[in-house]
Amino acid sequence: EGAHEFDQYFRLYNLGQHIKQQCEKARKGTFWSQKMRVSENIKPVFQAREAALRPGGPITLRFLEPQNMVLIVGKYLFVHGGVLPDHVPQGRLNLENLNKIAAEWMRGPQRRPIPVSLHGRTSIVWDRQFSSGSCDCTLLEQTLERLNVSRMVVGHTIQPHINSACNGAVIRVDVGLSKGCSDGAVEAVEVIDGRARVITAKPKSFTEKWFRA
């Protein structure tokens, strides 16, 4: 049964790769559920991908819904986009609610509106205020204080390599591993006893290897 499920997932992965290869060639047609210009021959590919990743879809239920959208481990806060003070007026209690709302939405039904906490430029999955340009360290510190953590680890915005801002209070870990993005070098953050170390496949091009505890 496990091998069968993996085979189904692999087929969907290959469909996703096909989409990336074909998107630049697409000139005609409109995808049935989005205003995207795609050729007729890849409409079924989009439909299959959407079916797998929609609320209640097989990939969503197996890989996404069981996970927390926001996670605190020790003194580290992990989130895809960013957590703002307005997201957590009551501190950690709000994080529990954010995770609950996200999980309920991903379980379905399909046409249920997207929660406000997951939609919009300043939502926890889309915000870039701590991952691009100049970081508002005061705003970041407000979030960290409300949640009683030392630093935030964010993704969403591709970086040339893992780096930090605000004296290590935010660590930016999205290095664009996918060939469909920037085909970046493999890098990871290892946290032991509250101290974070960057592991990189290109150590010669990297200068900041440790973050203070």
Q: 14-23, 58-67, 195-204 — which one is most confidently predicted on average? A: 58-67
pLDDT of residue 209: 52
pLDDT of residue 179: 72
| pLDDT, average across residues 65-71 | 92
pTM over 0.85: no
More confident residue, 160 or 50: 160
Residues 6+ apart with CB under 8 A from 85: 139, 142, 143, 146
3-class secondary structure, 27: coil
More confident residue, 206 or 132: 132
If residue 73 lies in a helix (H) or strand (E), which one and from where to where? strand 70-73
Question: Rounded distance, CA 83 to CA 67, Å?
Answer: 17
pLDDT in tens, 102-139: 999 998 876 778 888 888 889 999 999 999 878 899 99
Name the maximum alpha-carbon separation found in the chain.
55
Q: Return the sign of the alpha-carbon dihedral for residues 156, 161, 165, 170.
A: positive
Question: Rounded distance, CA 24 to CA 22, Å?
Answer: 6
**3-class DSSP string for 115-151:** CHHHCCCCCCCCCCCCCCCCCCHHHHHHHHHHHCCCE
**CB 89: neighbour CB atoms within 10 A?**
9
More confident residue, 42 or 193: 193
Question: Rounded distance, CA 125 to CA 117, Å?
Answer: 8
The answer on pLDDT for 212 being more than 60 is no
Q: 66-70, 91-95, 141-145 — which one is most confidently predicted on average? A: 141-145
Mean of the per-residue pLDDT values of the chain:
79
Question: Rounded distance, CA 123 to CA 138, Å?
Answer: 19
pLDDT of residue 71: 94
Task: Give the pLDDT band of residue 58 (cuts 50, 70, 90).
Answer: confident
pLDDT of residue 115: 86
pLDDT of residue 134: 80
Whether 139 contacts 110, CB under 8 Å: no
| pLDDT, average across residues 178-202 | 81
| pLDDT, average across residues 50-64 | 85
